[in-house]
Chains A and B, each alone.
Chain A
């Protein structure tokens, strides 16, 4: 039964290539997270807008992002957009897909965080002569990002894990894509994917640790 010989050295020899892949994975995850946060802030503002169509757009975005599989969203960003004659590279499609997903989930987190900020604070800011924009920018936003910090960390971990879906639209430069290509070359499936798994595990641990350190530094008061 156990006549399988593990050949770790063969798989380990490919480690540098896989680490390059991990760098691309991080690149996609960080980019999608940064753009996602900006979009989520916009969505949060739109959801409070007095203009009904704007509210509807923001709501639709959030609900679609939260109620369909991430893989579906990435397919849409690749094959869906392609049917309008726009052919995006796998990298761009993956980035759009994950960013769409991130923005939806983050907007929902931000909405929850907003509930923790009393209306009286905004009114106090307004009566101090701040414009609506200023009150949002200087009073609401910093507190909102602070309350939503932990969910944002979780979303970052999710973003890293989601990059593995890029392979379905032909991405082969991220960690999963590189591993799959190496697998086709060497057939050490278990060893290669185990190493990829360990790298993913370490990345997520680094993110959680980094976030904790950042939180300790940012939220001292």
Chain B
């Protein structure tokens, strides 16, 4: 018979961890998306040569393990700048930039998928650059970018498991704390994995559905 020494307060503890995971993800994805749209548009507007520093900057976030990004940001703020910040702030800043670097690519792909003839037509009708962006490009590009963006948001949720390294107790970390105490690794890990899966799977399926429907 299955038995566990998991108490109600432990479940609350896990729920708090899950809440932290969702909070960090929501904040980072929101900030990262705004930044990503700005970077993505900027990248296209600046032209190949002028955009190079931006491309290099964004590329760094995609080429270095998130764990190292977090440790470096933490060491830089804490030891070099000697500022008093919470790990939560650092986790959100790093994850936002991490999101932005991927989001910029998605935004760029979305904008480039809008046929240039459509945009030229808009401009010849007397629309300003901003109007063209707002009424022509944005609706069309969003359709193309949304499925990838959902994938990115879910990716950030899964990667937020690494913020334990800056002392943020999110779901996986709280699971690990409980494992150390209760010595029931398999059961606790399955609970934790189920939580991620139940959030990620339906949304991933929804993204796949949108992609299929809009590609017709």
Residue of B80, B189, B201 near A63 (CB, 8 A) is B201
CA distance A26 to B140 in the complex (A): 41
Minimum C-beta distance from A87 to chain B (A) = 12
Interface of A, helix, strand, loop or mixed by DSSP = helix
Give the size of the chain B interface in residues (CB under 8 angstroms): 35
Chain B residue nearest to A179 (CB atoms) is B68
Chain B residue nearest to A207 (CB atoms) is B63
Neighbouring B residues of A162 by C-beta, 8 Å: 65
Residue of A67, A75, A176, A189 near B65 (CB, 8 A) is A176
Residues A200 and B204 in contact, CB atoms below 8 Å apart: no
Residues B172 and A69 in contact, CB atoms below 8 Å apart: yes
Q: Is A80 an interface residue (CB 8 A)?
A: yes
Give the size of the chain A interface in residues (CB under 8 angstroms): 38
Q: Is B109 an interface residue (CB 8 A)?
A: no
Neighbouring A residues of B135 by C-beta, 8 Å: none
Neighbouring B residues of A82 by C-beta, 8 Å: 185
Chain A residue nearest to B67 (CB atoms) is A164
Neighbouring B residues of A165 by C-beta, 8 Å: 65, 67, 162
Q: Is B159 an interface residue (CB 8 A)?
A: yes
Residues A72 and B79 in contact, CB atoms below 8 Å apart: no
Neighbouring A residues of B158 by C-beta, 8 Å: 67-70
Q: Which residues of A contact B (CB under 8 A)?
A: 1-4, 63-64, 66-72, 75-76, 79-80, 82-84, 157, 161-165, 167, 176, 189-190, 193-194, 196-197, 200-201, 204-205
